[in-house]
Chains A and B, each alone.
Chain A
């Protein structure tokens, strides 16, 4: 007969109870994020071509309602154009989100596994999924045409250029050796990455107010962090910045509002340079002018999901639906632009441009691709409808292109 003290009996009972709890209640251990945790809130999908409000219950997608209910108005969505992805009809008016507020990490659009259902999380569903086509009858030159921001790497400045008519609206001094520029979706702010002194003692990210073309803040990086590539999330909250290093290279994730680095994604391709988000913000494509690959990152998990065999890539542009990516490569002379199907990651077309293409941008209803060619000092314009490439002379060291909407 074993004699146990009262204390021992109590703790033994507690242990027995805990074992029961473990067996009956535990279905997971640490990091037990369900899809409900990862994608809280609601999204709209097309089921039988009808906009349907969905949510996650654990890991299971669950229909909330297939009818208009509460804040969910089926008439705001269009399943007729794409049976797998509803279009939010008010997308071009930047409507406020009718179902609620930002839900943290759900900035990315989960990849659908095929079939008739796709996921458009609430925060990103008002993106312009349809091409940004100018209205019919638009004159060749209007004052409403967008301005262009251009970094002057050697002059430590950014130039604002109206496109119609061409000219210089403003020249804005920024931190040493600016490389890339991007504009927030609301058009209020431009961010500029600066490599900084050539000793790699640390670069900066400069905030420019586009209402008055003035620098509002310069966020200095720590020593050894040399910003180059730059991309801004479609909701305007996050900037992705390439730390242009031979080793210890990374992608810095910056909260635009608080102007702080919130995460660092390591082990990306060496010298990350051209950072471009897919239109829905779910993926970040990372190019490198000396790298042996082009990386595709998932913005939600902040991990690499695919490494494309496109070497010495310098920049990437997408069509507005995100189905095609265009990657500039300086591997060959003259340089090339590879058209890549984003579903299969296969190269479907190749365009020859000038020597050492450095930047690429899509404009005007998915028709034109504009490419800076650094060595040739020319700008190539690829007409995707005509399948033709034209070139125009540019100023010294053309670097950085951004269109203002």
Chain B
């Protein structure tokens, strides 16, 4: 079993800097670094991609914040919707996903980008997410805030209240593998949308499984949302990619 260590905290005068916060910010910086580098390689203007990324990130953050505040206590929210502006209870990834996607789509629509170009930007972004998420989830693993079912399994963490699954740690380990897989797959050219779709399906399926270890009532819908979006993109990958393949195949004959 894995020993339990409290989250490292650095006290600087009136401020307390937690490992989760530092790793969260680091994850954002890693995201910008990977995505902008990849965008430049793909021939997309850096500033344009930077704007796209900033809008997605900021709206994702707002979505995650609102989702947590609303979903933590829906009755309280319905009774007083204004509480989202003065009650801070954390962030929720499904809100970040929805907020980021909607903002990204809105940005692409505003700039009149084609479906292909839109998907290309999302694909560049989603390629980086396993690595970025891995850094963020390391913060969760250190904060021990995803307590799972009680167990004596070898991967259990010996929490003060007893040994149980640490879901942040399990997800962190999974994302190491997923990031490595993405890196390996990227060694060969892939159709646009490939990483977006693969991320949705793989990560969604994992989240559905992870929910079975959750101490809270099951909420498969979060994992299912990822899978559905992944499959949707997968179908678009085929539609968008096929004409290009046919075009490429037809090219020698035309020449």
Contact = CB atoms under 8 A, between A and B. Distances in A.
Interface of A: 4-5, 7-8, 11-12, 14-15, 18-19, 22-32, 37, 111, 113, 263-267, 301-306
Interface of B: 7, 9, 15-18, 20-22, 24-25, 28-29, 47, 50-51, 54-55, 57-58, 61, 64, 68, 88-93, 136, 139-140, 143, 145-146, 149-150, 160-162, 168, 212, 215-218
6 contacts: A24-B15, A30-B91, A30-B92, A31-B90, A37-B89, A267-B212
A74 B121 CA distance: 65
Nearest to A267: B212
Contacts of A26: 18, 20-21, 24, 91
A121 to B, nearest CB: 16
B61 A29 contact: no
A264 B136 CA distance: 31
Contacts of B90: 28-32
A11 B93 contact: no
A266 B218 contact: yes
B51 A30 contact: no
Given A4-B47, A28-B143, A31-B90, A14 B58 contact: yes
Contacts of B215: 301-303
B58 A11 contact: yes
A26 B88 CA distance: 10
A15 B215 CA distance: 34
A186 B146 CA distance: 38
Given A29-B143, A32-B89, 17 more contacts: A11-B50, A12-B50, A12-B54, A18-B61, A22-B21, A26-B21, A27-B143, A28-B143, A28-B145, A29-B136, A29-B146, A30-B68, A30-B92, A30-B93, A113-B160, A263-B217, A264-B217
- Of all A-B residue pairs in the complex, the 7 with the closest CB atoms, nearest first, are A11-B54, A32-B90, A27-B18, A26-B21, A22-B24, A30-B92, A23-B21
B20 A31 contact: no
Given A18-B58, A30-B93, A23 B143 contact: no
B55 A11 contact: yes
Given A15-B58, A30-B68, A8 B50 contact: yes
Given A22-B25, A31-B145, A32-B90, A7 B51 contact: yes
Q: Which of A5, A24, A25, A30 has its CB near the most chain B CB atoms (within 10 A)?
A: A30
Contacts of A30: 64, 68, 90-93, 145-146
Contacts of B24: 22-23, 26, 29
B21 A27 contact: yes
A31 to B, nearest CB: 6
A32 B61 contact: no
A73 B218 CA distance: 41
Q: Which of A8, A19, A29 has its CB near the most chain B CB atoms (within 10 A)?
A: A29
Contact of A29 (B22, B140, B218): B140
Given A12-B54, A24-B21, A31-B90, A19 B146 contact: no
